[in-house]
């Protein structure tokens, strides 16, 4: 069992080549707490996570994981330092089996640790010999999540994990995310379009607009602030 650590982002600016899409973003997430990252399409939610994981060009700023600045590190070194990233694209290896995909997430852990992934998602055990390309969207999300969890992250980034999935699968995944959060070994950041689900899950929220933080505060405060929700996220965000 890991011990959750804080994530402190300071004055982070980043983009793709010469295009800046993240502008002077600062926020902190306390150890073991959950932060929702919200905002309309194209505001930079994925780019923020990709920057924390080391996949964009950083122009400046710090990314402190448990106090240590990981910004100078390559993506693999950030993962070894405790950063878990489940990308919006899921990134399942289509020509590898489920079990081979999970092996990739083990880093230096022994092979039998894969049982932890099967305990989390029993469906993956049933599908262990199937190729990544043979999985449903929900199964791919389970695999991508389980592969990251096997690396024993202390900070976990989940980018729209429920996107395009059937309600019954969403419930299954949400139950696992809540269980992981309640075990207390991980600090979790979640991007989610379903605002109510995000507010139910998270302690705190940041809202992005054109790559900058436009609003930040407690989930409970945003849940009671229909005007802010409508302004930054559109009508019908809360039910």
Ligand X SMILES: Nc1ncnc2c1ncn2[C@@H]1O[C@H](COP(=O)(O)OP(=O)(O)OP(=O)(O)O)[C@@H](O)[C@H]1O
Compute the least distance from the CB of residue 211 to Mg ion, in Å: 12
In the stretch 33-72, what mask flags binding to ligand X with x, by CB under 6 A? ------x-xxxxxxx-------------------------
Stretches 40-48, 90-98, 192-200, 211-219: which one binds Mg ion (CB under 5 A)? 40-48
- Biggest CA-to-CA distance, the chain: 51
43 binds, among Mg ion, ligand X, none (CB under 5 to 8 A by kind): ligand X
Answer yes or no: are the C-beta atoms of 15 and 22 closer than 8 Å.
Answer: yes
C-alpha R_g of the chain:
17
User: Residue 38: left (phi > 0), alpha (psi -120 to 50), or beta?
Assistant: beta
Q: Please give the angle made by the CA atoms of 228, 43 and 147, to the nearest 5 degrees.
A: 110
Instruction: Closer to ligand X by CB, 129 or 210: give it.
Output: 210
Instruction: Rule CB under 6 A: say whether 182 interacts with ligand X.
Output: no
φ, ψ at 43 (rounded to 5°): -85, -15
Instruction: Kindly indicate which of the ranges 80-88, 119-127, 140-148, 195-203 contains the residues binding Mg ion, using the contact rule CB under 5 A.
Output: 80-88
Q: Which helix (H) or strand (E) holds 236?
A: none
Q: Which residue among 12, 21, 162, 222 contacts ligand X (CB under 6 A)?
A: 21
CA distance 98 to 106: 13
Q: Is residue 87 within the footprint of ligand X (CB under 6 A)? A: no
Helix (H) or strand (E) holding 198: helix 195-201
Binds Mg ion by CB under 5 A, chosen from 9, 14, 37, 46: 46
18 scored as a contact of ligand X (CB under 6 A):
no
Among 16, 94, 122, 133, the residue binding ligand X under the rule CB under 6 A is 16
Cα–Cα distance measured from residue 18 to residue 177, given in angstroms and rounded to the nearest whole number: 36
Residues 84-113, mask of contacts with Mg ion (x by CB under 5 A): ----x-------------------------
Which one, 46 or 141, has the nearer CB to ligand X?
Answer: 46
- Closer to ligand X by CB, 41 or 182: give it: 41
DSSP per-residue letters across 35-54: EEEE-STTSSHHHHHHHHHT
Q: Do the Cβ atoms of 90 and 158 come closer than 8 Å? A: no
CB of 39 to Mg ion, least distance (A): 9
Q: For the CB of residue 99, give the shortest distance to ligand X in the complex, in Å.
A: 30
The answer to whether 205 touches 222, Cβ cutoff 8 Å, is yes
Binding site for Mg ion (CB under 5 A): 45-46, 88
Binding site for ligand X (CB under 6 A): 16, 19, 21, 39, 41-47, 88
């Amino acid at each position: 069992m890991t011990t959750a650590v804080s994530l402190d982002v300071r004055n982070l600016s980043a983009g793709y080549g010469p295009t800046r899409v993240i502008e002077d973003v600062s926020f902190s997430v306390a150890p073991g707490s959950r932060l929702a990252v919200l905002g309309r399409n194209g505001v930079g939610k994925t780019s923020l996570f990709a920057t924390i994981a080391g996949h964009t060009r950083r122009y400046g700023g710090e990314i402190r994981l448990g106090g240590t600045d990981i910004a100078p590190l390559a993506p693999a070194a950030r993962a070894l330092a405790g950063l878990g990233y489940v990308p919006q694209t899921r990134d399942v290896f289509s020509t590898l089996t489920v079990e081979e995909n999970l092996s990739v997430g083990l880093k230096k852990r022994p092979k039998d640790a894969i049982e932890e992934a099967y305990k989390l998602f029993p469906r993956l055990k049933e599908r262990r010999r199937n190729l990544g390309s043979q999985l449903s969207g929900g199964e791919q999300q389970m695999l991508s999540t389980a592969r990251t969890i096997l690396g024993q992250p202390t900070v976990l980034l989940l980018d729209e994990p429920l996107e395009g999935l059937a309600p019954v699968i969403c419930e299954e995944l949400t139950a696992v995310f809540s269980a992981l959060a309640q075990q207390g070994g991980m600090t979790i950041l979640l991007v989610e379009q379903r605002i109510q689900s995000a507010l139910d899950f998270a302690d705190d929220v940041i809202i992005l607009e054109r790559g900058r933080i436009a609003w930040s505060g407690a989930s409970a405060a945003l849940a009671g602030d229909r005007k802010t929700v409508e302004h930054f996220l559109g009508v019908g965000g809360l039910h």
